Chain A
Amino acid sequence: MTLWHWLADPLAYPFMGRALLASVMVGVVCSVLGTYIVLQGMAFFGDALAHAILPGVVVAFLLGWPLEVGALVFGVLTAIGIGLLSEREEIKEDTAIGIVFAGSFALGVALLSTVRSYATDLTHILFGDVLGVSNGDLALIFGLGLLVLVTVFAFYKEFLVLTFDPMLAMVLRLPARFLRYLLLVLLAVTIVVSLQTVGVALMLAMLITPATAAFLLTRRLPVMMGMAALIGAFSNVTGLYLSYYVNVASGPAMVLVATAIFLLVYFLGPDRGLVWQWRRHRGRQRVVAPR
């Protein structure tokens, strides 16, 4: 079997074609937004928000609505809620996030446990089901995904200032509060976009793993975003094929590929990889020793 056949054959199934498109879009959107999540140190927030979306999904599921609608409404509300809770300084931010996160996750699981097909449904929501992406899902993924990308592009320099130097944002009279909430809402939308592909539990990896690998490879933000998008899309597509041929669950396969790329970059990446640093270190020692 040639490589071409290896790549093209699965696409004879329409569901594989849809899954492929969804994987690429999700990889790109998550990684681009993930760049800001990584730079602002919001990983825990991202993970929490992904889990906190569960009740929305379950309510939509029980009412027979599209899951994404429930997730979107609940996600945006939770994002703003956590934002407000951490603005007041009575509780530490990570504690506030933890409480909201675990509480709403429990609510979601409790609601879902009233349904007979509980176990299967929970698995799909938790780990995604990219092979089950319908045409309607695909339209939604592309619509919302493009919306996120366009917004990130439109507010590029404002988000950059806010992330690098919040004090400057303040001095320049940028609408800092608006931008902060906009970022949270974008995060909620991104989570909804990738819900079907990776599910709630592994969402965090989509957001931060490709972005962090890209972070190690470059020192310019636009390049970091581009590289993250490439790594994200590549991991997802590779993960999808792996799941087809090796017969493992698609979401975890995608995350594992991304993790492998991260580890590769971490150890072998040019200049800043551990191996290079170690070699440089040894080189320096050798230069110093004969003196």
Chain B
Amino acid sequence: MPIFHAHAPHRTGVPALELERVTVHYRSDVPALEDVSLRVERGELVAIVGPNGAGKSTLFKVIVGAVKPTRGAVRIYGSQPGGHICISYVPQRSQIDRRFPVTVADVVMMGRVGKIGLFRWPSRQDWELVHRALAQVGMETFADRPIGELSGGQQQRVFLARALAQEAELILLDEPLTGLDMPSQRAIMTILARLREQGITILVATHDLNLAADHFPRMVLLNRRLIADGSPEEVLTPEHLAQAYGGHLHVLPTESGALILADTCCSHGEPPPLPLGRDGGAGADASRREER
């Protein structure tokens, strides 16, 4: 394995992301992902939904190149995940050490590290890019603040700025709206819509079905296998949801569309969370496996 990687060039006329019958096995007999095929064009905004342990994180890891598929192929702009630094992964809030001694600008500059290259220091242009990226997400006044002082929504915006500084063309967000209040959620969605206009492809993993249905033109419903893929109306049918969630979900048809109720009372004794679709049992087990 080479220590230093060359970056693959982009081909035009190919989808931003293409998964072809991807299967991922960790150490158990049950695959984390099974036979998933997916095609995402440049500039699409897609919600990946499904219960916990459905393989959303695994899907992202496969796209990023952190996990190799057991079977199948992943192509980003026509080449393998390994060659790209145009993918950006926005981590879940809980994955970041809030006490880490870095400022907001430092975090955004990290996105430039790949482009700057070894044994070089950030130039004036790099810093300008960092500040422009922060301005784009409305966080320029926070540049010198420690990352740990920010609220959840602000932190997500900073990580989006990092993706911009990285000049990412495919951005993956893992549960970016979980635990945020309504205004913060709306701010993030506005930024995502703007990025999309710039031709950036965005995939968002979430277990909040209602939120996904409200904001995303395309949804992919996942539970190890790909269950449905299309507009929210096409995806959120009782049959699909029953397939993904089993008995944990109830769909009530109403005037303004389907109302989805999640049965979350008995999962690990947690208080019932606001977002839908937390299930226990085998699903939670699989998510634990994914965290490694």
Instruction: Give me the interface of A with B, judged by CB distance under 8 Å.
Output: 39, 89, 154-155, 157-158, 160-161, 163-165, 167-168, 170-175, 177-178, 215, 218-221, 223-224
Q: By the criterion CB–CB under 8 Å, are A171 and B89 in contact?
A: yes
Looking at the assembled complex, report how far the CB atom of B142 sits from the nearest CB atom of chain A, in whole angstroms: 13
Inter-chain contacts of B148 with A (CB < 8 A): 219
Residue of B nearest to A41 (CB): B97
Looking at the assembled complex, report how far the CB atom of A269 sits from the nearest CB atom of chain B, in whole angstroms: 14
**Residue B5 lies at the interface, judged by CB distance under 8 Å to chain A:** yes
Pull 22 A–B residue pairs with CB atoms less than 8 Å apart, ordered by A: A157-B116, A157-B121, A157-B122, A161-B110, A163-B100, A164-B97, A164-B100, A165-B91, A165-B96, A167-B91, A172-B114, A173-B82, A174-B114, A175-B3, A175-B5, A177-B1, A177-B3, A178-B3, A215-B101, A219-B102, A219-B146, A221-B101
**Residue B282 lies at the interface, judged by CB distance under 8 Å to chain A:** no
Looking at the assembled complex, report how far the CB atom of B220 sits from the nearest CB atom of chain A, in whole angstroms: 21
Name the 4 nearest CB pairs between A and B, nearest first.
A172-B114, A219-B146, A173-B5, A175-B3
Residue of B nearest to A225 (CB): B101
Inter-chain contacts of A170 with B (CB < 8 A): 64-66
Inter-chain contacts of A220 with B (CB < 8 A): 101-103, 106, 146
> Given A167-B64, A168-B89, A171-B89, A160–B114 Cβ distance below 8 Å?
no
A173–B1 Cα distance when bound, in Å, is 12
A192–B67 Cα distance when bound, in Å, is 37
Summed over the interface, the residue pairs from A and B with CB atoms below 8 Å come to a total of 85
**Residue B52 lies at the interface, judged by CB distance under 8 Å to chain A:** no
Q: By the criterion CB–CB under 8 Å, are A167 and B66 in contact?
A: yes
List 10 additional A-B contacts (Cβ < 8 Å) besides A39-B101, A164-B100, A219-B146: A157-B122, A161-B113, A164-B97, A165-B91, A172-B114, A173-B84, A175-B3, A175-B4, A215-B101, A220-B102
Q: By the criterion CB–CB under 8 Å, are B118 and A158 in contact?
A: yes
**Residue B223 lies at the interface, judged by CB distance under 8 Å to chain A:** no
A167–B106 Cα distance when bound, in Å, is 16
Inter-chain contacts of A177 with B (CB < 8 A): 1, 3
Q: By the criterion CB–CB under 8 Å, are A171 and B64 in contact?
A: yes
Q: By the criterion CB–CB under 8 Å, are A171 and B85 in contact?
A: yes
Most buried by B among A155, A170, A177: A170
Looking at the assembled complex, report how far the CB atom of A169 sits from the nearest CB atom of chain B, in whole angstroms: 8
Q: By the criterion CB–CB under 8 Å, are A39 and B100 in contact?
A: yes
A182–B55 Cα distance when bound, in Å, is 33
Inter-chain contacts of B288 with A (CB < 8 A): none
Q: By the criterion CB–CB under 8 Å, are A172 and B64 in contact?
A: no
Q: By the criterion CB–CB under 8 Å, are A173 and B3 in contact?
A: no
A175–B88 Cα distance when bound, in Å, is 17
**Residue B124 lies at the interface, judged by CB distance under 8 Å to chain A:** no
A164–B146 Cα distance when bound, in Å, is 13
Looking at the assembled complex, report how far the CB atom of B106 sits from the nearest CB atom of chain A, in whole angstroms: 7
**Residue B87 lies at the interface, judged by CB distance under 8 Å to chain A:** yes
Within 8 A of A (CB), among B90-143: 91, 95-97, 99-103, 106-107, 109-111, 113-114, 116, 118-119, 121-122
Inter-chain contacts of A221 with B (CB < 8 A): 101-102, 106
Inter-chain contacts of A223 with B (CB < 8 A): 101
Give the contacting residue for A173; candidates B103, B114, B119; CB below 8 A.
B114
A175–B111 Cα distance when bound, in Å, is 15
A179–B3 Cα distance when bound, in Å, is 10
**Residue B166 lies at the interface, judged by CB distance under 8 Å to chain A:** yes
Q: By the criterion CB–CB under 8 Å, are A160 and B110 in contact?
A: yes
Inter-chain contacts of B122 with A (CB < 8 A): 157
Inter-chain contacts of B107 with A (CB < 8 A): 164
Q: By the criterion CB–CB under 8 Å, are B88 and A171 in contact?
A: yes
Most buried by B among A164, A177, A221: A164
Q: By the criterion CB–CB under 8 Å, are B292 and A89 in contact?
A: yes
Inter-chain contacts of A39 with B (CB < 8 A): 97, 100-101
Looking at the assembled complex, report how far the CB atom of B77 sits from the nearest CB atom of chain A, in whole angstroms: 15
Inter-chain contacts of A155 with B (CB < 8 A): 118
Q: By the criterion CB–CB under 8 Å, are A164 and B110 in contact?
A: yes
**Binary CB contact string for chain B from 1 to 35 against chain A (1 if under 8 A, 0 otherwise):** 10111010000000000000000000000000000
A165–B96 Cα distance when bound, in Å, is 7
Inter-chain contacts of A157 with B (CB < 8 A): 109-110, 113, 116, 121-122
Within 8 A of A (CB), among B133-160: 146, 148
Give the contacting residue for A224; candidates B7, B82, B101, B116; CB below 8 A.
B101
Inter-chain contacts of B5 with A (CB < 8 A): 173, 175
A218–B148 Cα distance when bound, in Å, is 12
Q: By the criterion CB–CB under 8 Å, are B87 and A160 in contact?
A: no
Most buried by A among B83, B96, B100, B109: B100
A174–B111 Cα distance when bound, in Å, is 12
Inter-chain contacts of A173 with B (CB < 8 A): 5, 7, 82-85, 114
Give the contacting residue for A171; candidates B87, B106, B118, B146; CB below 8 A.
B87
Most buried by B among A157, A175, A221: A157
